[in-house]
Amino acid sequence: KHMADEECDYLFKTVLIGDSAVGKSNLLSRFAKDEFHLDTKPTIGVEFAYRNTKLGDKIIKAQIWDTAGQERYVQINFSSFLSFLHLHILLETTINNIFETDSYRFRAITNSYYRGALGAMLVYDITRNETFENVRKWLQELREFGDPDMVIVLVGNKSDLVDLREVEVEDGQKLAEVEKLCFLETSAKENLNVEDAFLQMITKIYKIAS
């Protein structure tokens, strides 16, 4: 019998966030299907996957949402730019409307992404310092759009790439301490700590929800 067909006692929505190419989609495919892909296409739109986990005598179904990172901003800004070029000639007053429409669309997408989410996995890439710098930006988005009680797990991914490391383990730990988040380094490629990271999130949500 397939896991996804089983009855469950709890259904938890959780989301993956973080810059593009940090490994969100591969963390998800590793956890949900035990798969890793060397060349993955950037995620377009929103995708999700399920996995059931047994905690004590309860079956928890985690519904994990995955979306593009900064691509989301880039796509929307680029369309603003095109509309701008095109319409600037026609009517200057429409410009404001264009920007409002895009910002409205961005907010609508972002809102529905976070709506009802009980947990978030915030991922950075230990080989790219800028993805770690951007963690603060993602925390701001979480504060603006997410539930204040959301369980947040900070994940430094690609721990297998030791020679390329730019972010030290201690940096991740310190930030997690200050922001009161759980923290782990993972490798979706080598399957290190992936299960643990998701299970920590699910277990913590369960403790709050039950």
- Could you tell me the CA-to-CA distances from 134 to 20, 130, 141 in Å, in that order? 11, 6, 11
Q: Is 20 in the site for ligand GDP (CB under 6 A)?
A: yes
Tell me the number of residues near ligand GDP by CB under 6 A: 21
Window 152 to 171, contacts with ligand GDP (CB under 6 A) = 157-158, 160-161
- Quick one: 8 or 161, whose CB is closer to ligand GDP? 161
Q: Among 30-38, 40-48, 137-145, 196-204, which window interacts with Mg ion (CB under 5 A)?
A: 40-48
Residue 25 interacts with ligand GDP (CB under 6 A)? yes
From candidates 9, 10, 13, 21, binder to ligand GDP by CB under 6 A: 21
Q: Does 43 bind Mg ion (CB under 5 A)?
A: yes
Q: What's the number of CA atoms in the CB half-sphere (13 Å) around residue 104?
A: 6
> Which has the closest alpha carbon to 114: 86, 168, 150, 90?
150
Q: Is 87 exposed, middle or buried (0-12, 13-18, 19+ CB in 10 A)?
A: middle
From the list ligand GDP, Mg ion, none, pick the one residue 76 interacts with, judged by a Cβ distance below 5 to 8 Å according to partner type: none
Is residue 61 within the footprint of ligand GDP (CB under 6 A)? no
**Residue closest to 136 by CA, chosen among 16, 47, 19:** 19
CB of 25 to Mg ion, least distance (A): 3
Q: Which does 23 bind (CB under 5 to 8 A by kind): Mg ion, ligand GDP, none?
A: ligand GDP
Q: Do residues 150 and 119 touch, judged by C-beta distance below 8 A?
A: yes
**According to CB under 6 A, which one of 12, 15, 17, 26 is a site residue for ligand GDP?**
26
- Toward ligand GDP, which CB reaches closer, 43 or 53? 43
Q: What is the spatial distance between Cα 123 and Cα 139, in angstroms, rounded to a whole number?
A: 11
In angstroms, the CA 98 to CA 110 distance is 18
| 46-55/58-67 β-pairing | antiparallel
Smallest gap from residue 121 Cβ to ligand GDP (A): 11
72: its two tokens: 């989301």
The least CB distance from residue 62 to Mg ion, in Å, is 18
Write down the least CB distance from residue 99 to ligand GDP, Å.
27
Return the closest-CA partner of residue 156 out of 188, 111, 179, 180: 188
| Binding site residues, ligand GDP, CB under 6 A | 20-26, 37-40, 42-43, 69, 157-158, 160-161, 187-189
